[in-house]
Structure 1
Amino acid sequence: MKKITVGIIGAGRIGKLHVDNLLSIPEIQIKSVSDVVVNHLQEWASSKGISVLTDNYKDLLTDPEIDAVFICSPTNTHAQIIKEAARAKKHIFCEKPVSFSVEETIEALKVVEEEGVKLQVGFNRRFDPNFKKVRELVQQGEVGQPHILKITSRDPEPPSVEYVRSSGGLFMDMMIHDFDMARYVMNSEVVEVSARGAVLVDPAIGEAGDVDTAIVTLTFANGALGVIDNSRQAVYGYDQRVEVFGAKGAATADNCRPTTVEVSTAEGVSKDKPLYFFLERYTQAYIEEVTQFAKALLENQEVICCGNDGLQAERIAKAAKESFVTGRPVKIEHIEQAEDKVVLN
């Protein structure tokens, strides 16, 4: 059996999640984990059968036995590590976003292309079976010509202010998932963005320079319109919904709940709240995305979510932030002309 040897860069919550999911794939062997602080990881690594712990990610890049790395470190490190990993001929799985800068992302993707390695970006929602089904129905023409896309994405509680300060802001940190989902479901590029935001959940988020509530409208190249709403706090749980409305009908993916039981009495009708957080809601999607990355390496196939997908989502996020600041719609061509003379397929 062919084996892929993997190294993990960054052993926070998402890094550990990927370790658990990769361990379920027989063709994957996890050899090394790097983190800036490794002393507290000894027992965890031993329990996972990981033989090498290091505080220097470069140790993974110089190890000839490692075929691929998972970049789960802070976003401000992603682009540099991608370039170094590509030059070391390692295949790459990188958490979103690729960077906070369109220019840095383009530079990193050029190195990936030059070195001929594979890069998958961690937009896990593409691998959710419900959202994937909506995309398939749209592609099959079941709803006819798409007219309107609606995405709702609301967290159950706001993150810490410390996280907000380093996150890149709601549009780049949170809504970027929805920007990718918009392109994925509609199979059409976004050509214009208009954004509005407010601080309605936690004043400290505003003091940190961000918003906690936002609505973005999108215009697609195929003429369809989209609307995305985000909130940092939905008191009833993790609210994740997608709808595509078209000439022949609509396709809707509703929230996932612990059960589908609905109780009807004289007092009213009730059902379970949505699953509480992303680790519960997207359990299967996280497993599927690393499974598909492993398959792409083992069978030398194209990855499902490539570097260009990461780049386009960042362009939309940057346009949304510009629209929010200026109060005007922003055309994506404006962003491209100003910052990218090269088309990356």
Structure 2
Amino acid sequence: MSNQSQVLRVSLIGAGEAGTCHLKSLLQLPDKFRVVCVVDDHPSEESQTLIQGFDHIEHVAQAEIDRGIEMCDAVAIAIPTSMHEELIVTSLLAGKHVFCEKPLVLTLDAVRRVYKLADEHNLKLLCAMTRRFDQPTQQIKKHIESGSVGQIYNISMTSRDNPYPKVEYLMNKPGIYSETGIHNVDMAIWLMKDTPTVVYAQGHCFNPVVAPYPRSDDNVTVVMKFPSGAITTIEISRYSTCGYEQRIKVYGDKNTVASDSVPKDQFHQFNSGQVVQNGPCEDFQSRYAEAFTEEWRHFFKCVREGDDILVTEDEVASVVLTLDAINYSRQIGLPVEVDYSKSTFAAKNPDS
């Protein structure tokens, strides 16, 4: 098979912030992907510029989405989560592989439905848990699996956004726990190779414009306890005075390993009183640009070379159930026990 015939034709559905990141990554891999169309009535300014700069990219209206799907080998989905399931199903029934932004779908039943359909049609379905493809995070994973960390006592995660999202953007999202916390929950389950038995969440909304709306928390903490006794603490905020702050630290009985906020560059300035370095990346697009590209390389290998999808159906299902339990904990203000064998959760008995 020639290199040209190996290239995957991709239709990108949605060209907002996340879609723009995927478009830029795809255009960096011309030996693997050819973007044939972008479906979005109102693409971001950056996406619009990119679309106009490449003759092979057709800008397709939302009303013609079915034509956009027919044009490709694989569909990339980066639209509001409430629309994911219908579009995944449509794409799979059309015989297309699917790369879908997180959250994949909104319910546990929907997770099972879309993966069952992908299996029945022998097609690849990747839920884009981008941070698994981040090099520092992968190094943490390798150290844990090598045994050099030893027994894990604690995992500490910090995610501080910058800048504060637009209100209209937030109105199309399922809330900070399921929208942003999904990455942290997924990484904790992935790093631990296990699922938490108890979760607890607390939060608050400091923005008076957003506060009247449902799912408005913008500054939260989540605690998850695992069967081994290890505890993960997740701090998530839409406020940051130091750029886009992302940190993971894993404490074991042999070693502690960590991923810190990545500076814009490695420039340092020294004088007698201090050391000055540039601040961290300003947003998720700059912080995880390489991870987005690595994720697409992985998807290509899965489709063309038969590699296993890194993010499995059971992992996606576990994350969905955990997030449901976390949202329920925030609602009732109590710790919640999760039973993955029964796909249920309930308020923790204070005597247990």
Please indicate, yes or no, whether the TM-score normalized by the shorter chain is above 0.5: yes
After TM superposition, give the deviation of residue 11 of structure 1 in Å: 2.1
Partner of 1:58: 66
Compare 14-23 and 44-53 and name the one that shifted more. Answer: 44-53
Q: Name which of 21, 25, 32 aligns with 2:25.
A: 21
After TM superposition, the structure 1 = structure 2 runs for residues 96-107 of structure 1, keeping only pairs within 5 Å, are 96-107=102-113
Q: Report whether the alignment pairs 1:109 with 2:115.
A: yes
Which AA in structure 2 matches 1:29? R
2:147 equivalent to 1:141: yes
Q: SS of the residue aligned with 2:343?
A: helix
Distance 1:269 1:29, change over 3 A: closer
Q: How many residues align?
A: 336
Residue 11 of structure 2, aligned match among 2, 7, 12: 7
The runs of 5 or more residues in structure 2 that have no matched partner are: 346-352
Matched with 2:167 is 161
Match status 1:332 vs 2:329: no
| Structure 1 segment 1-345 matched on structure 2, within 5 A | 1=3, 2-25=6-29, 26-37=31-42, 44-55=50-61, 56-63=64-71, 66-200=72-206, 202-209=207-214, 210-265=216-271, 267-333=273-339, 336-338=342-344
Q: Which residue identity is paired with 2:68?
A: L
Q: Secondary structure at the match of 2:197?
A: strand
Most deviating of 236-245 and 301-310: 301-310
CA distance in 2, matches of 1:43, 1:236: 30
Q: Does the CA-based 8 Å contact 2:338-2:344 persist in structure 1? A: no
Which whole-Å CA distance do the structure 1 matches of 2:51 and 2:275 have between them? 47
Counterparts of 2:341 and 2:268, CA distance in 1: 48
| Aligned equivalent of 1:342 | none
**1:82, 1:112 within 8 Å by CA — same for their partners in 2?**
no
CA distance in 2, matches of 1:117, 1:111: 9
Whole-angstrom CA distance in 2 between matches of 1:204 and 1:42: 30
Deviations 1:139-192 (CA, angstroms, capped at 9, x unpaired): 111110111111111112321222222211110111111111111222222222
**1:194-231 CA deviation, whole Å, 9 max, x = no partner?**
1111123x122322221111111111234321110011
Shift of 1:22: 1.3
3-state SS, counterpart of residue 148 of structure 1: strand
The answer to which of 216-225 and 241-250 deviates more is: 216-225
User: What is the RMSD computed on CA atoms of the aligned residues?
Assistant: 2.3
1:51 to partner: Cα distance: 4.4
Deviation at 1:259, TM superposition (A): 3.4
Q: Secondary structure at the residue paired with 2:209?
A: helix
Aligned to 1:343: none
Provide the rounded CA distance (Å) in 1 between the counterparts of 2:48 and 2:175.
Answer: 33
The 10-residue stretch of structure 1 (328-337 or 78-87) with the greater mean CA deviation from structure 2: 328-337
Distance 1:163 1:54 in 2: 22
Runs of 4+ in 1 over 6 A off after TM superposition: 40-43
Q: Which runs of 5+ in 1 are unaligned?
A: 340-345
